[in-house]
Chain A
Amino acid sequence: MNRIDQKFQEDHKLLSIYFSAGHPRLEDTVPILKNLQAAGVDMVEIGLPFSDPLADGPTIQKSSTKALRNGMTTDHLFSQLEHIRKDIHIPLVLMGYLNPMMQYGIEKFCKKCEAIGIDGLIIPDLPVDVYHDEFKTLFDQYGLYNMFLITPQTPEERIRYIDKVSNGFIYMVSSASVTGAKNTFGNTQTTYFERIANMKLNTPTVVGFGISNRETYETATAHSKGAIIGSAFIQFLEEKGVAQIETFIRSLRE
């Protein structure tokens, strides 16, 4: 069974963390993963940095740029992760834009992910229909899940379609916005979270974008299976460093 499915059977809310591989320092990837797992994080999205991250706000733009300057490449990330499954048992998802994967070669990329033990991918600029027509067979062959995003503007019919073709989880973007930390969620967000919960989708949902602290984490998970924190974690890493990761995670949930 895919580690993602296994994890989502556990009877509690899930906390997932995103970071840009190669940031703050090139060789931080494995230490970050170990610290996150030790602190009780349920799942990690490892960001493959891209020069032109269209769907990202200033924090992740900066961490991606810095990671690239530090020398991060697709090959280097794969070499860092080569033996990761000796230590890390939580689900690992790679999150990145399509162009670097295309240049690596989609099949070669999938093969490598399978060999390492990557459970799934999130590719913000790969639309569902293109995935379905051109990528799905390959992903299935290598046991990789591909997770899709929905937003407050996604029409109901399309959400139903995404639910039907999804595996793993549906990534609910919290508001019409690029990535970036917010301090609170307003009425619009809670109404949207409730609306989606009431649709009784088959695929579990995880909320991401804008989650930064215990309050936003709790609002987000009140109506979904879990939440993903990115920008706020990256800011914390930059200020406090890898060794303090546990403090950050404890501030979100005991």
Chain B
Amino acid sequence: MNYNVDEKGYYGDFGGAFIPEMLYPNVTELRESYLTITEQPEFKKEFDDLLKVYVGRPTPLYFAKRLSERYQTKIYLKREDLCHTGAHKVNNTIGQILLAERLGKTRIIAETGAGQHGVATATVCALKGIECIVYMGELDIKRQAPNVARMKMLGAEVRAAESGSKTLKDATNEAIRDWINNPVDTHYIIGSVVGPHPYPDMVARFQSVISEETKWQLQEQEGRDYPDHVIACVGGGSNAAGLYYHYLNDKRVNIIAVEAAGKGIDSGESAATSALGKEGIIHGSKTLLMQTPDGQITEPYSISAGLDYPGVGPLHAHLFRSKRAEFISIPDQEAMDWGLTLSQMEGIIPAIETAHAFAALDVRKFGSDEVVVFNCSGRGDKDLETYIDYFKL
């Protein structure tokens, strides 16, 4: 089986572009140009240069000695938390701003949950001197205050999404409505491998630098360019897609996806889409999503704003259905505890999203010769207040 997108924008049963006619010209323009533009040597050069001198790539592949000893396996961390702005999100926004520039767009919109994608978008807009508007759920504005301030400092306008659950899904709705209202001058920088084709593939390609580097870094450190397991947290699924990308069709590599169980899968307050979702349409994509029997999209819950999304990118829905990837879900409490563990065992304070991935170590046994690569997708600065409240620091 092939796990790359097909020419119609599908991953197996999932994907496509279920968009209102109002978005047709924009999405068509993107679909017809994203590969030609991103494959131009001149584009590649600017993209690679910015990743190097601005983002700080390559990010280290760090062998976590103490963790490896405790869990009797070889644990590596792909340090996306060391990217400029503090998470993997910027790999994608660099790519998309360069694309937007070449499409002649003069106004950028984005949605954000944890604020990481909003900050990464505001950053590249500042870099290029382009107007930036970020939609963010009212609830997330409250729980991710430092990132709201950062976006403002960077010159972006942060608009509150006040509908629905007032989180990521609603911010995405508002961004899509903005795009409908501004079809000519605006590019919408989606923050994950979600949305209508070509977004999932385009974002995955920009994030694929993560596994591209992992390959040669592993070759240097382990003498082989593939691990036995790759593990990442999945909100929409962009950091995961980046880590899996060059291993998708390599059967030697086991793929593990970690979702947020929130207060527990059966609690009614969860964001574990693979366990709770059914096939449907969200934000222009056919995928798995959490919904009522009547087809109304459910309001998800996770302590981490970046995983608080009722759907999952179509690539991941396909990895799940075809059993290419193992999906596990981790409740708030275990993720929070891993925030502390990683801090105190490796000196790395992770984002709460990222902390979910590490909890796989308690659920899943790995052999002592096995090489396990975790995507350390982001740092915990933005979550300090949540950590302080939770641990009474």
Contact = CB atoms under 8 A, between A and B. Distances in A.
A237 B281 CA distance: 31
A149 B21 contact: yes
B347 interface: no
Interface stretch (B175-183, B255-263, B381-389): B175-183
A50 interface: yes
Given A127-B19, A173-B22, A52 B282 contact: yes
Nearest to A177: B181
A178 B291 contact: no
Contacts of B293: 103
A176 interface: yes
Interface in A16-71: 50-52, 54-55, 57, 61, 65, 68
Interface stretch (A4-12, A153-161, A220-228, A241-249): A153-161
B270 to A, nearest CB: 17
Contact of A103 (B18, B280, B284): B280
A101 B294 CA distance: 9
A100 B295 contact: yes
Interface string B178-192: 001111100000000
Given A61-B163, A178-B180, A99 B281 contact: yes
Contacts, number: 104
B164 interface: yes
Given A130-B18, A153-B25, A98 B281 contact: yes
Given A52-B173, A73-B294, A98-B281, A176 B20 contact: no
A102 B295 contact: yes
Nearest to A149: B21
A151 B21 contact: yes
A99 B163 contact: no
B16 interface: yes
Interface residues of B, number: 33
Among B24, B176, B283, B284, residue most surrounded by chain A Cβ atoms (within 10 Å):
B24
Contacts of B183: 151, 153, 176
A166 interface: no
B139 interface: no
A153 B22 contact: yes
Interface string A152-183: 01110010000000000000010011100000
A104 B295 contact: yes
A242 B24 CA distance: 37
A148 B164 CA distance: 27
Contact of B24 (A54, A68, A97, A127): A127
Given A54-B176, A127-B17, A176 B22 contact: yes
Interface string A76-111: 000000000000000000000111111110000000
17 contacts: A50-B296, A51-B164, A51-B296, A52-B282, A54-B20, A54-B177, A99-B291, A99-B295, A99-B297, A103-B280, A124-B21, A125-B284, A149-B21, A153-B24, A154-B25, A173-B22, A177-B22
- What 9 pairs between A and B have smallest CB-CB spacing? A103-B295, A100-B295, A149-B21, A51-B296, A55-B20, A124-B20, A99-B281, A73-B294, A153-B25
Given A51-B296, A65-B164, A99-B281, 9 more contacts: A54-B180, A55-B22, A99-B295, A100-B295, A127-B19, A128-B21, A149-B22, A150-B21, A173-B21
Interface of B: 16-22, 24-25, 163-164, 169, 173, 176-177, 180-184, 278-284, 291, 293-297
